[in-house]
């Protein structure tokens, strides 16, 4: 068998609908994976650089409102700003309660410490959800792409062996070529999965570092709100 006739192009030219569908699925998974890797990687890198500096700018401000404005200018993606907005909302609701208006909700009737904790925890959860968006998709691609490629390999080998068995005398050259072509689908699956897994681990680590800054900022903000109250 001529080696020039073997390869990805030869395999696809002789592939059936199942192999074509498998290849298209892997291609779509690869496009989605790299789109998430590039988008999330850039956003995470910017957030890591800006978060600590933004927190420092906030605590140098004279009021919460001024601090929020600085956070909104310094952060490419609102994270600490979400916590500052929650603190300002608490400050405004405390002012309404001091004016003698009746409590309108269970939140207004809670102790100040509980209200501060609840609002900041909710804001921190919103920030966490924003950071982790897309990571489940990336992890799913990394976990399933090898099996999709393996399915394509098994299907190709099955049809190759059926074709070879019907040709009468079987020689090693007749088996090696089709099987080698079939293994291309497994390699394609690994090519899709490996970057997705590596990127998922790197983004998870970066998010953990950003969230540690957010958590420290939330604790400092909680202490400020309680002391001021």
Q: How confident is the model at residue 99 (pLDDT cuts 50, 70, 90)?
A: very low
Percent of the chain exceeding pLDDT 90 equals: 29
Cα R_g (the chain), whole angstroms? 28
At residue 165, does pLDDT exceed 50? Answer: yes
CB-based contact 168:10 (threshold 8 Å): no
**pLDDT tens per residue across span 140-152:** 999 999 999 999 8
At residue 46, does pLDDT exceed 50? Answer: yes
The distance in angstroms from the start CA to the end CA of the chain is 84
Percent of the chain exceeding pLDDT 70 equals: 77
At residue 1, does pLDDT exceed 60? Answer: no
pLDDT value of residue 229: 58
Residues 156, 161, 167, 172, CA torsion sign: positive
What DSSP string runs through 104-139? -SHHHHS-HHHHHHHHHHHHHHHHHHHHHTTHHHHH
Q: Which residues contact 61 (CB under 8 A, 6 or more apart)?
A: 67, 70
What DSSP string runs through 7-29? SHHHHHHT--HHHHHHHHHHHHH
Tell whether pTM > 0.95.
no
CA distances in angstroms from 183 to 23, 153, 210, listed in the order given: 13, 5, 41
Q: Average pLDDT, whole number, for the chain?
A: 82
Higher-pLDDT residue of 1 and 164 is 164
Residues 213, 218, 223, 229, CA torsion sign: positive
Question: Which residue in 60, 122, 62, 66 sits closest to 90, CA to CA?
Answer: 122
At residue 30, does pLDDT exceed 80? Answer: yes
Query: By three-state DSSP, how is residue 169 classified?
Result: coil
């Amino acid at each position: 068998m001529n080696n020039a006739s073997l390869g990805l192009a030869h395999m696809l030219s002789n592939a059936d609908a199942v192999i074509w569908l498998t290849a298209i699925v892997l291609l779509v998974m690869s496009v989605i994976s790299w789109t998430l890797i590039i988008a999330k990687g850039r956003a995470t890198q910017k957030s890591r650089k800006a978060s600590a500096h933004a927190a420092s700018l906030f605590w140098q401000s004279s009021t919460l409102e001024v601090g929020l404005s600085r956070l909104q200018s310094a952060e490419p993606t609102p994270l600490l700003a979400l916590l500052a907005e929650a603190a300002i909302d608490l400050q405004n609701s405390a002012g309404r309660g001091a004016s003698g208006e009746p409590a309108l909700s269970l939140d207004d009737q809670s102790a100040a410490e509980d209200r501060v904790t609840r609002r900041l925890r909710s804001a921190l959860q919103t920030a966490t959800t924003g950071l982790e968006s897309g990571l489940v998709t990336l992890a799913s691609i990394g976990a399933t792409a090898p099996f999709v490629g393996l399915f394509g390999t098994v299907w190709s080998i099955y049809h190759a062996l059926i074709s070879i068995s019907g040709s009468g005398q079987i020689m090693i050259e007749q088996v090696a070529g089709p099987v080698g072509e079939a293994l291309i689908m497994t390699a394609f699956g690994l090519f899709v999965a490996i970057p997705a897994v590596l990127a998922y681990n790197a983004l998870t680590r970066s998010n953990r570092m950003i969230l540690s800054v957010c958590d420290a900022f939330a604790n400092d903000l909680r202490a400020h709100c309680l002391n001021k109250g």
